[in-house]
Amino acid sequence: MLFRNYQWLLSGLCGMLLLPLLFCLPSEAQNSPYSMFGLGEVNNGQEILNRAMGGVSEAYSDGQTINFINPASYSELQLTTFDVGLDLGSEKISDNQNNTYNSTFGTLSYLQFGVPLKKGGGWGLTFGLTPLTKMNYNIQQNDSLKGSSEPVSYLYQGHGGSYQAFIGTGFRVKGFRFGVNAGYLFGSTQRSTQAVYPQDSIGLYNSNITNRTSFGGFFWNAGVQVHVKLSKSTALELGASGGTNVKLPASTDYLAETFYYTGDPSNQAPQNLDTVSYQKGASGKINYPGHYGFGFLLHDNKHWTVGADYQVSKWSDYSYFGQKDSLQNSSTLRMGAQYVPNMSPFAKSYWSIVAYRIGFYTGTDYLHLNGRSLNTYAFSFGAGFPIRNFSRGTQYTTINTSFEIGKRGTQSDPLSSNFFRFSVGFTLDDIWFIKRKYQ
């Protein structure tokens, strides 16, 4: 009885928390200098379950989980699945001049829906929406003009981001699984640079340059997984996935203007003086990078699982209207494990059916600042809490959590940070499209 009360208590908490978070959670980082580059700071689009295992996902498949990283996993869907992930976190960012920035963020990580197309698994369909990048920065730099003592204050601002809406399918042929995702990648960004001369003594005009860009185009990626049975209860899973570069048609509006203040700039909006240049709807291309990864999992009927991945994103191929940015190829090695004490849905102890997870990842970041590469690493841990577990074959609902603590760069790099991220995922599974015989 106590076990069932645990489940219904968690189920109620899930319902009370989910809807307010979906509608009230901010979708952008708060003043992150990292988001100045490319299309913004790259989101972690992995399933929350996998993040707690260090992000190990290439070979992962589960009948009640949607693993977007490798669409071959869709073939194992057993139940109609609704999956939503949320991120919360903070970051303390430092530059090599001992200046610090505190950044907090909260965002919808993914929204996914999956349906098995074949009874008992073997063919599945998934669609959803995933944020890819987020941009939100507001940075002031005080300096002086070259060859002059005239002070100047630069203000760099930007906001926006990119998203992908996708549909995917995966199917199984004996021990092989194949899958593909296709969809639309879209978004918009706005960047502005202001130069303000607070003690103008030589007749200089304050200036502002703004670029507003919108973009969108189709993408695809594919994956494969192989199941190798080693013994009656033990199996090896192999997986690989990848996607090509995407050339996104883009349109940008460019504005250069001068402005002035009639009083104190700290409590007054700027007044337009003159439009120096204006160009509307200039067309071009944004080259969004491809990626690939591969990995393995070893498990004992999912009672325990260990695995590792290696993933690469080709950010050196990124370009904006033909211009490169301070980006490089990123590479990440991921390792993780999961342990479930009791796989039976009729276990007497609630805590014996909780999935406990731990992981680690390390690699080279996609940012390349002032000729220096940023190294990154993080430890992760979390758990999967069943909140409705009547039967894994009919209804199964879980709250997955992940905690990540890590570091990006070192004190000698142009930017470095210590970060903490908490992620929570709500996975609701049920049988649909089957007529009930008894009410």
Give 187-227 as a 3 state SS string. EEEEEEEEEECCCCCCCCCEEEEEEEEEEEEEEEEEEEEEE
pLDDT band at 410, cuts 50/70/90? confident
pLDDT tens sequence across 346-368? 778 889 999 999 999 999 999 99
Separation between Cα atoms, residue 28 and residue 87, nearest integer Å: 11
Tokens of 68: 């977007």
Does residue 251 contact residue 217 with C-beta atoms inside 8 Å? Answer: no
Cα Rg, the chain, nearest whole Å: 25
Does residue 309 contact residue 57 with C-beta atoms inside 8 Å? Answer: yes
pLDDT band at 344, cuts 50/70/90? confident
Percent of the chain, pLDDT > 70?
Answer: 87
Res 9 pLDDT > 50: no
Separation between Cα atoms, residue 208 and residue 194, nearest integer Å: 4
Tokens of 371: 């000729």
Tokens of 334: 């991921």
pLDDT band at 431, cuts 50/70/90? low
**What's the one-letter identity of residue 132?**
L
**What's the one-letter identity of residue 247?**
K
Separation between Cα atoms, residue 208 and residue 189, nearest integer Å: 17
Q: Looking at residue 350, what is its pLDDT?
A: 87
**What's the one-letter identity of residue 250?**
A
pLDDT band at 51, cuts 50/70/90? very high
The residue written with tokens 């080259």 in the block is 287
Handedness of CA 252, 286, 41, 426 (dihedral sign): positive
Length of the chain: 439
**Hey, what domains does the chain have and what are their CATH numbers?**
2-430 (2.40.160.60)
Count of other CB atoms within 10 angstroms of residue 283: 9
Count of other CB atoms within 10 angstroms of residue 108: 19
Separation between Cα atoms, residue 83 and residue 397, nearest integer Å: 10
